[in-house]
Amino acid sequence: MSVWALGINHHTAPLDLRGRFAFALDQIQPTLHGYRQSLARQPEATLLSTCNRTELYGAGDQSAVEPTLDWLASMGGVSPHVLRDHAYILREDQAARHAFRVASGLDSMVLGEAQILGQMKDAVRAADEAGALGTTLHQLFQRSFAVAKQVRTSTEIGAHSISMTAAAVRLAGQLFEDLKDIKVLFVGAGEMIELAATHFAAKTPKAMAIANRTLERGENLASRFGAQVMRLADIPDRLHEFDAVVSCTASTLPIIGLGAVERALKRRKHRPMFMVDLAVPRDIEIEVKGLDDVFLYTVDDLASVVQTGRDNRQAAVAQAEAIIDAGVLSFMHWLEQRDPAKGVVPLIQQINAQADAWRAAELARAKKLLARGEPVEAVLEALSKGLTQKMLHGTLAELHAGDAETRAATAQTVSRLFLREKS
């Protein structure tokens, strides 16, 4: 049984390529089912997809890795060669270390951020419900969650970190003299928009509005911040009203197009607009970035802002890496025990099988003696002696074999196994 991780992230692939491989949470189950059905031997599998990464973790035969890359490339509509140029394939302890680092927030754009842990748990739950999560990956992820908890409670990895949404507020403050004078539109009603609304609300802007595909969900979020609610279809007609726009939906196509923004700017008499697109794939067409009066930022554009304070957390990173190293060693030890070529489990099974064979042989002999009318006490005595001789034969033979040094080492082992005091 081998484990591996195959994926792309913000370190290896540009935003538009990552957008091709974005999967909403409700797509994970059918996607995993299709992936496993595409292979002759179905591996355990878990699919993690966020704005910064898409990763497929597997456990099974290593020969499944290359077909997995081909399958993932086809899902994104690119050639395997293109995907291979931007992907990483990690195996065994490197795959485990990567999973632990991701869960702990060490591989995130925002160092130490906690949101990824919840996203991983959602992905694992979806894999389990899809029937794709076996014993090996279950162990891998449960251990990764435990390591992440230890990192978060034992180190200051999350201290002074700046989230994407906090970075957006900071950038908006650099553009506008006073955020109390602006109107903000939030497109979507998910976790990222909720965080963004929380950060902007703390600056008490003049007005806020939530645009969402489902009005009910938009209303639930808007009620918390005293914001207006509107439909996505209303955005083109009302976009000019807002000085700042923050968008993060699960749409596979842009929500806000170039034409809509151009018309909004015209109605605003070209007063500047601040726009943040936190979605992958994009919610706002990339051409909008070329407009003179629009300041558009994507998740990748915010990278330099969220790095602030990273140097102050390097000591915590070192502590976290040590915790992760210990977790990796523990997981690999568990995995090796399950490996017929390396582990002790097969040896234990062989010892039990041998003991059962000896027991069965002596029991059969005892039954024959009883059938011939031999005294019960004599039969039991013979049974116990027979079992004892069989079980000690190999040990006693080793004590008499080899040179003096070998016999001394064997004697120590035998003493430890047979003569130790009960604890």
Q: Which residue has the tokens 């976290």?
A: 320
79 labelled ligand-binding: no
Task: List the structure tokens of 191.
Answer: 């976790």
53 labelled ligand-binding: yes
Q: How high is the pLDDT of residue 42?
A: 87
Q: Is the pTM of this model over 0.75?
A: no
216 labelled ligand-binding: no
Give the H or E element holding residue 5.
Answer: strand 2-9
123 labelled ligand-binding: no
Q: How high is the pLDDT of residue 308?
A: 62
For the annotated catalytic residues, the residue numbers are 51
Contact status, residue 304 vs residue 310, Cβ threshold 8 Å = no
The residues with which 186 forms a beta bridge, in sequence order, are: 210, 246
381 labelled ligand-binding: no
210 labelled ligand-binding: no
Q: In degrees, to the nearest 5, what angle opens at C-alpha 106 toward C-alphas 104 and 111?
A: 110
192 labelled ligand-binding: yes
Is residue 422 classed exposed, middle or buried when 0-12, 13-18 and 19+ CB atoms within 10 A define those classes? exposed
ω into 281 cis (within 30 of 0): yes
Alpha helical stretches, state H, 278-344:
303-306, 314-337
Q: How high is the pLDDT of residue 272?
A: 94
pLDDT digit string (tens) for the chain, length 423 residues: 789 999 999 999 999 999 999 999 999 999 999 999 988 888 999 999 998 999 999 998 888 899 999 999 999 999 999 999 999 999 999 999 999 999 999 998 888 888 899 999 999 999 999 999 999 999 999 999 999 999 988 888 877 667 788 889 989 999 998 999 999 999 999 888 998 999 999 999 999 999 999 888 889 899 989 999 999 999 999 999 999 999 999 898 999 999 999 999 999 999 999 999 999 999 999 999 999 999 999 988 887 777 665 666 777 888 899 999 999 999 999 988 876 665 566 667 778 888 888 888 888 889 988 988 889 998 899 889 988 888 888 888 888 877 777 778 788 887 877 886 654
Q: Which residue has the tokens 């060669």?
A: 81
40 labelled ligand-binding: no
Please state, in angstroms and as integers, the Cα–Cα distance from residue 212 to each residue in 80, 165, 191, following that order: 36, 18, 13
